[in-house]
Chain A
Amino acid sequence: MMHTLLLLGLNGLIWGLIIALIALGLSVIFGLLDVINIAHGDFFMVGTVLAWFTLEATGSFWLGFITAPLIGFLLGALIQRVVIQPIGNVAGLSIVATFGLSLILQESVRISFGPTPRRILPPIQTTIPLFGIEYEVYRLFAAAVAVVALLGFFVFLNHTKLGTWMRAVRHDRDTAIAMGIPAQRIYILTFALGFALAAFGGAVAAPITTVDFRGGVDILPFCFMAVIIGGLGNLAGTAAAAVLLAFLEGVIQSFADPTVARIASLVLMSAVLLLRPQGLFKGLVR
């Protein structure tokens, strides 16, 4: 019993770290562009599919770690320029547009990849004994990759010129433009980065989950929960909330139905929205 609990907790932790990557993309897009991105789950799904295609085409899984975020970045830039920019930041319209985007992405994948879910075998086949079972090393490796990517993103955001510009545009758009920051290009960069993060998360998660054109549907509410519970715009909080939520769901799953775990986190989320709409961690971080 203790072993199952630890195991599900560990699974939750690893899953949470990957979700944190995706939710970070969602939070960046929301914070800077004021766009509620319904298609974000599908950005993740596109990542898993790109990993699968890369594996099929080249025989190398690891190449997917480069192609998925790269193609995601380009697609994101394109989408921002063609779809999001003409709309402006009218919440209702951006929801409709990203809903349409979500349909287009899902259907395109269904055409090109096919409707049947497939699995990618873990590229690291070795297992180690952990809590009484043979645990896949790839899962641990995926968690490490996610942590590195998360840290890398925070370094980018806080210590590079582009990252500073992103924060500046978010903080005060008009002043940033007056200072000569190309806000329009920063918007494109932000959306592209958001897509790239989700696609990278997809590539990392591909051997753990299934590759399916509807793979984003379940991810989306979870990412929103992480963003809300962590506090809108609070990136570190989002990452922490994703890990916390997935860990909690993992633990609850050890003694109850997975759906019960999902309901529990949804109830937690409503409570946070109503009682602490600024997020759980405001005041703790910083």
Chain B
Amino acid sequence: MTGRAIIERTLLGAFAVFMLAVPWLIPSLVNSFWVSLIAEILIWSLFAASVNLLYGYIGLLSFGQALYFGFGMYGVAIGIDQLGLGFWPAFGLGVVASTAMAFVTGIFAVRLTWHYFAIITVVFSLIFYFLAVTQKWLTGGDDGINFSLPPTFSFGGTQISFTSGTFQYFFILATVALCLWLMQCVTRSPLGKAFLAVRDNDVRASLIGLNIYGLRLTAFVMAGFLAGVAGALFAFFGRYASASYMFYNVSGEAVVWAIVGGAGTLFGPLVGTALFIVIRELVSTHWEHHSLIVGVMAILVVILAPRGIVGLWSSLLSRFIDRGDARAVSAAGKLRTDP
């Protein structure tokens, strides 16, 4: 195993242990508010991952992912509040609604690329944002829908629900981890390689027989699914859904998180999201103008580390570790060829 792989495995293991220990570790270190903050970071990083799947893996910059986030959110809220559904059917409704919406809008959107794609995605999301604002009977408009959460599991008399902070945290952690794992499976599969081929050069990809339109639509629907799950989780998390989460600045923040963290990497969106939300929480209690810092940081990262924080990290790793490995390998080679 190379030095790089050892470092990365160790970090990943430590990270996994930390995430599993959060409900017990964090309240003793800081306070229990930070447990729910970490849960929130997980949800938003799943949302940023949906931007990342499109931009980092197939080269489409979507500025309208908030639309699918909002559909996931409203699917849950309307399902519970107006249709009287239970936890799981409402979850399903949210995810299915956003995925279906991604399919329908994707049919049109992925015909366009580059700037045109970015603009049509934001236009689609704005159309539904304004619709959600006007259709108050269904969506509650800007005031939104508040609802009380049905139990997640009930075995006879015992009910397990989000009222338990620990359960809520682990439910969110498990769902986000599952989604990221699925995304990792896709990006490592032949389908994922095809995505990368389209990202790097779509003309060449089409010349080797790849169906560019089909691949882009597939990625778009998958990204809509991820955003929908994130939206549904956020509705459960806040017991709330509002049109304001469908506005374009929500999509914009996800783009910033994904790119600052490192587009085209699995953990980039998580790192970017965590960085910005933690800064917001740390600074906003002392200084109300924290978005000044967010703006400066977004610009600095883009100028100094165009491949994002994770990209910066891996290039630092290759500078210090891989060089050492290469020296070791070549030394070993020399030893063997010596008579």
Contacts and interface: CB of A to CB of B under 8 A. Distances in A.
Contacts of A228: 119
Contact of B114 (A91, A110, A274): A91
Interface string A214-257: 00010001001100100010000000000000000000000001
B299 A83 contact: yes
A101 B116 contact: no
Interface of A is mostly: helix
Interface stretch (A149-157, A161-169, A186-194, A264-272): A264-272
A31 B303 CA distance: 22
Given A103-B292, A110-B289, A259-B130, A91 B115 contact: yes
Nearest to A262: B130
A93 B302 contact: yes
Contacts of B263: 92
A75 interface: no
Interface in B78-129: 108, 111-112, 114-116, 118-120, 122-124, 126-127
Contacts of A266: 123, 126-127, 130
Contacts of A269: 123
Contact of A270 (B108, B130, B133, B296): B108
Contact of B123 (A96, A111, A259, A273): A273
A260 B134 CA distance: 8
What range describes how many residues of A lie at the interface?
A: 35 or more
A107 to B, nearest CB: 4
Contacts of B294: 100, 103
Given A100-B294, A107-B295, A93 B306 contact: yes
A104 interface: yes
Interface in B292-326: 292, 294-299, 301-303, 306
B119 A100 contact: no
B259 A104 contact: no
A38 interface: yes
**What are the 4 closest A-B residue pairs judged by CB atoms, nearest first?**
A100-B298, A103-B295, A104-B295, A100-B295
Given A91-B61, A100-B298, 15 more contacts: A36-B118, A36-B119, A87-B302, A95-B118, A97-B298, A103-B291, A225-B123, A232-B115, A262-B130, A266-B127, A269-B123, A270-B124, A273-B116, A273-B120, A277-B112
14 contacts: A83-B299, A92-B263, A95-B61, A96-B255, A97-B302, A100-B294, A100-B296, A103-B294, A107-B291, A224-B119, A259-B130, A266-B130, A270-B127, A273-B123
Interface of A: 30, 36, 38, 83, 86-87, 90-93, 95-97, 99-104, 106-108, 110-111, 217, 221, 224-225, 228, 232, 257, 259-260, 262-263, 266-267, 269-270, 273-274, 277
